[in-house]
Amino acid sequence: MALVGHPTYDAPASEPLPPTPPALDDATAFLKWRPQFHLQASHGWMNDPCAVSYDPEEQVYRVFFQWNPQSPFWNHICWGSAESANLLDWTVSSAPVLSPETWYDGKGIFTGCTVCPSSGKQITIFYTSVSRLPIHYSLPYNLGMETLSMATSIDGGRTWARSKKNPILGPNHLADVNITGWRDPFVTKWASLDKILGLKEARLYGLISGGIRDTAPTCFLYDIDPADMTTWNYIGPLMQVDRNYRPSRWSGDSGLNWEVANVLTFDQYDFLLISAEGGADRNGKSTRGSIWIAGSLHGTTPVTMKYDFGGVFDHGDYYASNTFRDESLDNAIIAWGWIVEEALSDELIVRQNWSGSISLPRVISVATVKSVVGALHSPIDQLTNFKAVKSEDGYELTTLGVDVHPRYISSFRQRAEHNTVIPAVTFLRPGVVDCGISSTSWELETEIALSSSAVHVGVVALHSPDYSQQTRLFFCPENETFTIDRSRSGNGKELHAHDAPHTLFTTRTSDGAEEIEKLKLHVFCDRSVIEVFLNGRTAISARVYSDEASCRISLFAENITAGPVHFSETKVWHGITGKVTLE
């Protein structure tokens, strides 16, 4: 749960919430930058996705989310709900489904998780119940202000029954540890943990995120009694890395406090997906970041996880990932995250009467590149977001892969009003090719062949006819960085650039030849939200606030110093709107 610099709501827990959205002074302001195919609350403040799941019996996806229906700013956090069969069209609650109303959660219903798989409309959740504010890693921590609670629903999450044992756990067992936070439960099976503990039957384990002041960010590990899930037995801190640990520019800053830590288990690798608070200053302020760590388990009393290698899950305006396994997609791990609204002034946020959205659903995988003989410029052993294993024909590199859910892409392209194909183009000198498209909601896919020279190559998005307003999405092979340049994007107050380290590999083919992989560029633009995916292993998102006339798309290349730049056939699907039904 991420807090922002606005006053906290401190009314009595019994104060009712408005059942309907407040009247808008300016309907145009409400719609101006409102995304068309990202999941959003009906109005008000929205942040972390919670208790995300796929229900194989009902064949629907469910996302709950932190919500303040009273204001477009953070306070009095409730849960809203959303349900979809195709990941594009959503039925969204118009009133909270779980609200602060008891002594232990009267100050907020913070982030939580489900016990998956759910069974039809029956759902069990764990959530952080908050009885005292403010809470922040930089402030003294009062034991008991955050506790763990449990609730069940038999109608798909529309109504909830709290456990009579609530709160089922608090951090009092950590009284001798000066913690910075204790929240955001995540429950999972974990085969490699069963193995190291010598267990033959699968157990359930719980993570609660936080940190130890002046020592390390961490998550606290628990064993859960399968016969009574209100019983959580403390094992110990799962991992302790140095504060602000950052092996290189290729790996994320571990921060000072962790939130929403998830375990991602694959056959050969275990990962932590972490939301890290208190990253090193960027543009003059402390940052949050979405990072991942690949680790190995050691010991038994307690079990700990060793940092092996790590990276950044998203290099932009994305935070608070929550994951689940999608039984309709070979049990693949899917993540949703919060797309934040921090670059817009408070005055404009008040006018539009909403803040934040949920990201596109992302498939997480283990990505492997084989027969690698080199990167564009960096030595292989300096790429700290990869595990490199020497092979006969080079290296086999392993990292965390990410791309958009294929069911979402299918729904999206079927709904698109237009599918425009821009023929292949080769730049021999600096230039721009207008795609002939006017749209603020689109998907673009292309591949770019280029050398390792100082070229800047990519897409000019949301630009005006004279390019005076534009957002540039470009790759520079010389410094191995992809950038979303927002310096001329429009109305935001803090539109600094987002940079993502990214490289292309030279691999050896079966006949012994060497070739540089192409830059695979996959972009989704949804009015004020841009999400970019590169070669299935790098993601970067951004908020932009362009004027209505800035709606064109161009391809470009500049600073060409050696060799041509070749765009393959570029495909753009545009004119897309998701359907929202308020319930």
At 8 the pLDDT is 28
Are 456 and 555 in the same domain? yes
Give the confidence band of 356 by pLDDT, cuts at 50, 70, 90: very high
CB atoms within 10 A of CB 366: 16
Q: Tell me the CATH number at 530.
A: 2.60.120.560
Are 441 and 321 in the same domain? no
Give the confidence band of 27 by pLDDT, cuts at 50, 70, 90: confident
At 342 the pLDDT is 84
Tell me which residue has tokens 């396994």.
325
Residue 6 resides in a domain: no
pLDDT tens readout for residues 202-211? 899 999 999 9
Burial of 200 (0-12, 13-18, 19+ CB in 10 A): exposed
Q: What is the mean pLDDT of residues 343-368?
A: 95
Q: How far is the C-alpha of 265 from the C-alpha of 226, rounded, in Å?
A: 20
Tell me which residue has tokens 């009284």.
175
Are 447 and 552 in the same domain? yes
Residue 322 resides in a domain: yes
Q: What is the mean pLDDT of residues 150-157?
A: 94
Q: Tell me the CATH number at 289.
A: 2.115.10.20
Residue 11 resides in a domain: no
Residue 399 resides in a domain: no
Are 83 and 221 in the same domain? yes
Are 319 and 424 in the same domain? no
Q: What is the mean pLDDT of residues 433-437?
A: 95
pLDDT at 452 over 80: no
Residue 407 resides in a domain: no
Query: Which residue range(s) make up the domain with 522?
Result: 417-576
Q: What is the mean pLDDT of residues 162-189?
A: 97
Are 151 and 259 in the same domain? yes
Residues 6+ apart with CB under 8 A from 184: 1, 48, 110, 111, 112, 128, 208, 209, 259, 260, 261
Of 140, 150, 136, 126, the residue nearest 53 (C-alpha) = 126
Start-to-end Cα distance in the chain = 25
Mean pLDDT of the chain: 92
Q: What is the pTM of this model?
A: 0.94
Are 247 and 323 in the same domain? yes
At 343 the pLDDT is 87
Q: How far is the C-alpha of 137 from the C-alpha of 135, rounded, in Å?
A: 7
Give the confidence band of 23 by pLDDT, cuts at 50, 70, 90: very low
pLDDT tens readout for residues 468-493? 999 999 999 999 999 999 999 988 77
At 282 the pLDDT is 59
Are 435 and 302 in the same domain? no
Are 134 and 275 in the same domain? yes
Residue 200 resides in a domain: yes
pLDDT tens readout for residues 266-319? 988 999 999 999 997 655 555 899 999 999 999 888 899 999 999 999 999 999
Last residue in a domain, options 359, 376, 398: 359
Q: For the chain, give the percent of residues with pLDDT over 90.
A: 83
At 561 the pLDDT is 76
Q: How far is the C-alpha of 260 from the C-alpha of 120, rounded, in Å?
A: 26
Last residue in a domain, options 315, 338, 359: 359
Amino acid at 312: V
HSE of 214, CA atoms in CB hemisphere, 13 A: 4
Strongest mean pLDDT among 365-369, 452-456, 507-511: 365-369
At 526 the pLDDT is 97
Q: For the chain, give the percent of residues with pLDDT over 70.
A: 93
Q: What is the mean pLDDT of residues 380-404?
A: 96
Phi-psi domain of 563 (left: phi exceeds 0; alpha: psi -120 through 50; beta: other): left
Q: Lowest-confidence range among 17-31, 50-64, 363-377?
A: 17-31
At 13 the pLDDT is 35
Residue 330 resides in a domain: yes
Point out which residues pair with 205 in neighbouring strands. 188, 223
Burial 477-493 (b: 16+ CB within 10 A, else e): bbebbbbbbbebbbbbe
* 270/563: higher pLDDT: 270
Residues 6+ apart with CB under 8 A from 113: 50, 51, 125, 126, 127, 185, 186, 187, 322
Q: How far is the C-alpha of 108 from the C-alpha of 414, rounded, in Å?
A: 40
Give the confidence band of 509 by pLDDT, cuts at 50, 70, 90: confident
User: Total domain count for the chain?
Assistant: 2
At 117 the pLDDT is 59
Q: How far is the C-alpha of 516 from the C-alpha of 532, rounded, in Å?
A: 21
Q: What is the mean pLDDT of residues 100-108?
A: 97
Residue 239 resides in a domain: yes
Last residue in a domain, options 311, 339, 359: 359
pLDDT tens readout for residues 220-237? 999 999 889 999 999 999
